[in-house]
């Protein structure tokens, strides 16, 4: 069986060195590039945002620069989609998908609001989006 997509969650588990050190992160990215070329597979990484040093009241969106670790990740990735939880109700979770980096897109992709349903494990567009203010 040859997989078409490999999912790694979380990315920091693939780094034996310091995730804040650009040289360590670059080594990982270089090895992944070799694997992508050799096995012709797509790789999806789950990554986490860094802890904000500013209060929740004065926070702002850093886009792909919000990723934990060296900036090498955002320079290297073809696509970065930031997922922000907007609320939760029962088995549904409101999410905003921000397309921070889409290297091969012809146009910018606007943020999209979706609902993730825990029962069917599907994302749905809908009018009853969940927001917590």
- Extract the residue ranges of the chain whose pLDDT is less than 70: 49-70, 126-133
Report the pLDDT value the prediction gives residue 75, as an integer from 0 to 100.
Answer: 85
Annotated domain spans of the chain: 1-77, 78-133
The whole-chain average pLDDT of the chain stands at 81
pLDDT digits (tens, 9 = 90+) for 27-57: 989 999 998 999 999 999 887 765 555 545 5
- In sequence order, the 6+-apart residues with CB closer than 8 A to the CB of 30 are none
**Pick from 132, 130, 133: which is nearest to 90 by CA?**
130
Q: Where are the beta strands (DSSP E) in the chain?
A: 5-8, 42-45, 79-89, 92-102, 112-117, 122-124
Distance (Å, whole) CA 78 – CA 76: 7
CB atoms within 10 A of CB 113: 15
């Amino acid at each position: 069986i040859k997989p078409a997509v490999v999912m790694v969650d979380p990315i920091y588990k693939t780094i034996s060195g310091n995730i804040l050190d650009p040289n360590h992160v670059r080594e990982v990215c270089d090895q992944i590039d070799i694997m992508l070329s050799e096995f012709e597979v797509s790789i999806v990484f789950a990554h986490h945002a860094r802890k904000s040093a500013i209060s929740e009241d004065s926070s702002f969106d850093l886009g792909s620069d919000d990723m934990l670790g060296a900036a090498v990740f955002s320079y290297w990735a073809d696509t970065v989609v930031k997922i922000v939880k907007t609320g939760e109700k029962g088995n549904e979770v409101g999410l905003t998908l921000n397309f921070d980096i889409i290297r091969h897109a012809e146009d910018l992709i606007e943020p999209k609001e979706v609902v993730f349903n825990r029962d069917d494990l599907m994302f749905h567009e809908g009018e009853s989006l969940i927001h917590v203010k």
